[in-house]
Amino acid sequence: MQATFIPEGYQSRLDIYDTQKAISLLKRLFEDRLGALLNLHRVSAPLFVDKNSGLNDDLNGVERKVEFDILHSNHTAQVVQSLAKWKRMALKRYGFFPGKGLYTDMNAIRRDEDVLDNLHSVYVDQWDWEKVILPENRNLDYLKLTVMDIVTAICDTQDTIQAIYPQLQPLGKLERRVSFITTQELEDMYPDLTPKERENAYLKEHKTAFLIGIGGALRSGKPHDGRAPDYDDWTLNGDIMVWNELLGCAFELSSMGIRVDPAAMEKQLRLSGCEERKKLPYHKALLNGELPLTIGGGIGQSRLSMLLLGKAHIGEVQASIWDDETLETCARAGVTLL
Q: Which of 126, 254, 301, 302 is catalytic?
A: 126
Residues 26 and 33 sit within 8 Å (Cβ to Cβ):
no
> What is the pLDDT averaged over residues 105-120?
82
- Of residues 282 and 96, more confidently modeled: 96
Residues 87 and 299 sit within 8 Å (Cβ to Cβ):
no
Q: Which of 239, 302, 316, 320 is catalytic?
A: 239
Q: Which of 33, 88, 110, 259 is catalytic?
A: 110
Q: Can you give the C-alpha Rg of the chain in angstroms?
A: 20
pLDDT of residue 61: 63
Sign for the CA dihedral angle at 259, 263, 266, 271 comes to negative
Query: Distance between CA 207 and CA 335 in Å, rounded?
Result: 26
Q: What are phi and psi of 238, to 5 degrees?
A: 170, -175
Is 126 tagged catalytic? yes
Interval 207-232: pLDDT, tens: 999 999 999 999 999 999 988 888 89
Is 266 tagged catalytic? no
Q: Which of 82, 158, 254, 255 is catalytic?
A: 255
Is 255 tagged catalytic? yes
Beta bridge partners of residue 302, listed in sequence order: none
- Of residues 323 and 21, more confidently modeled: 21
Neighbouring C-beta atoms of residue 19, cutoff 10 Å: 20
> What is the pLDDT averaged over residues 39-60?
83
Q: Is 1's pLDDT higher than 50?
A: no
Q: Which of 31, 33, 57, 198 is catalytic?
A: 57
pLDDT of residue 316: 92
Q: What are phi and psi of 149, to 5 degrees?
A: -65, -40
List of domains in the chain? 16-332 (3.30.930.10)
> What is the pLDDT averaged over residues 13-28?
94
Residues 29 and 161 sit within 8 Å (Cβ to Cβ):
yes
β strands within 12-138, DSSP E: 40-42, 48-50, 67-69, 76-79, 101-109, 123-132
> What is the pLDDT averaged over residues 274-279?
90
Lateral strand order in the sheet of 76-79: 48-50, 76-79, 67-69
* Band of pLDDT at residue 188, cut at 50, 70 and 90: very high
Q: Minimum mean pLDDT among 205-214, 221-230, 254-263, 301-310: which range?
A: 221-230
pLDDT of residue 95: 93
Q: Is 115's pLDDT higher than 80?
A: no
pLDDT of residue 326: 87
* Band of pLDDT at residue 73, cut at 50, 70 and 90: confident
pLDDT of residue 111: 78
> What is the pLDDT averaged over residues 99-111?
90
pTM of the model: 0.91
For residue 215, what is the DSSP state?
A: S
> What is the pLDDT averaged over residues 202-209?
96
Is 252 tagged catalytic? yes
